[in-house]
Amino acid sequence: NAGVTQTPKFRVLKTGQSMTLLCAQDMNHEYMYWYRQDPGMGLRLIHYSVGEGTTAKGEVPDGYNVSRLKKQNFLLGLESAAPSQTSVYFCASSRTGNSPFFGSGTQLSVL
Amino acid sequence: AQTVTQSQPEMSVQEAETVTLSCTYDTSESDYYLFWYKQPPSRQMILVIRQEAYKQQNATENRFSVNFQKAAKSFSLKISDSQLGDAAMYFCAYRSENYGQNFVFGPGTRLSVLP
């Protein structure tokens, strides 16, 4: 079982560039999440989705957009990357909204 | 808003010994869930243990157990017979039963296991 797969695993961007992070899950989970992890701050929720075609803002949504066109995929977009968005990004999914399964993370550096 | 505090940025334990990681949280709600996640150097987030607030019995998973003190809003993790593979970052997390899907994570405790 692949579980939750994130692509890419590493990326370096220049300020102002755009990119999309892809999250795919093969567990037929309804709920999907995007978190960012910064040193000393744990994980903070960026956006989440409670089902296909739905999205909602989390704790730190500014500068990010998301889409959930298919149940198994949850995309995170950065339209104009900033150095403050340098972080490790985690995608997660869950069936009931509890005990999410996490992907292995994407290390993003914005120069 | 709920907050989760882990007051120990770093801890160390001798192999085969027992260690306790602390977690406190702030909430006005009565129904919620608490979790401990482990993050080894591979970066993968792994669920260690989960506790429902309505359950008085402390959760246990093999060598891992919790001490859940609802009135004190405390949720500590005890690791018995520590192994080298237990070395990792440990995150405490809170999720409300009544609101949305936001898991609130603490800042983490880095655990080292000494041979």
Average pLDDT (B6-28) is 96
Q: A38, A46, A98, A104: which to substitute to probe chain B, counting the most B Cβ within 10 Å?
A: A98
Residues in a beta bridge with B34: B51, B94
- Judged against a pLDDT cut of 70, whether residue B100 lies above it is answered with no
Question: What burial letters (b/e) apply to A72-93, b meaning 16+ CB within 10 Å?
Answer: bbbbbebeebeeebbbbbbbbb
Predicted pLDDT at B98: 67
- Judged against a pLDDT cut of 90, whether residue B102 lies above it is answered with no
Instruction: Tell me the C-alpha distance between B26 and A97, whole Å.
Output: 21
Predicted pLDDT at A97: 62
Predicted pLDDT at A80: 96
Least CA distance to A37: which residue of chain B? B107
Least CA distance to A43: which residue of chain B? B105
Pairing outcome for strands A19-25 and A31-37: unpaired
Alpha helices by DSSP H, listed for A6-107, are none
Q: Residue B105 is nearest to which of A42, A56, A105, comparing CB atoms?
A: A42
Average pLDDT (B21-44) is 93
Q: How confident is the model at residue B70 (pLDDT cuts 50, 70, 90)?
A: very high
By 3-state DSSP, what share of chain A in percent is helix, strand and coil, each rounded to 5? Answer: 5, 50, 50
Q: What's the per-residue H, E or C state across chain B?
A: CCEEECCCCEEEEECCCCEEECCEEECCCCCEEEEEEEECCCCCCEEEEEEECCCCCCCEECCEEEEEECCCCEEEEEECCCCHHHCEEEEEEEEECCCCCCEEECCCEEEEEEC
Predicted pLDDT at A40: 78
Mean pLDDT across chain B: 92
Convert the pLDDT of each residue in A47-78 to its tens digit: 999 899 999 998 899 999 999 999 999 999 99
Instruction: Give B64 or B99, the one with higher predicted confidence.
Output: B64
Beta-carbon neighbour count of residue B24 at 10 Å?
Answer: 17
Q: How confident is the model at residue B13 (pLDDT cuts 50, 70, 90)?
A: very high
Check CB contact under 8 Å for A100 and B103.
yes
CB-based contact B65:B13 (threshold 8 Å): no
Predicted pLDDT at B104: 87
Instruction: Tell me the C-alpha distance between A28 and B63, whole Å.
Output: 31
| Residues with pLDDT less than 50, chain A | none
Hey, what are A35's tokens?
């978190």
Average pLDDT (B79-94) is 96
User: Closest approach of chain A CAs to the CA of B94, in angstroms?
Assistant: 10
Check CB contact under 8 Å for B102 and A59.
yes
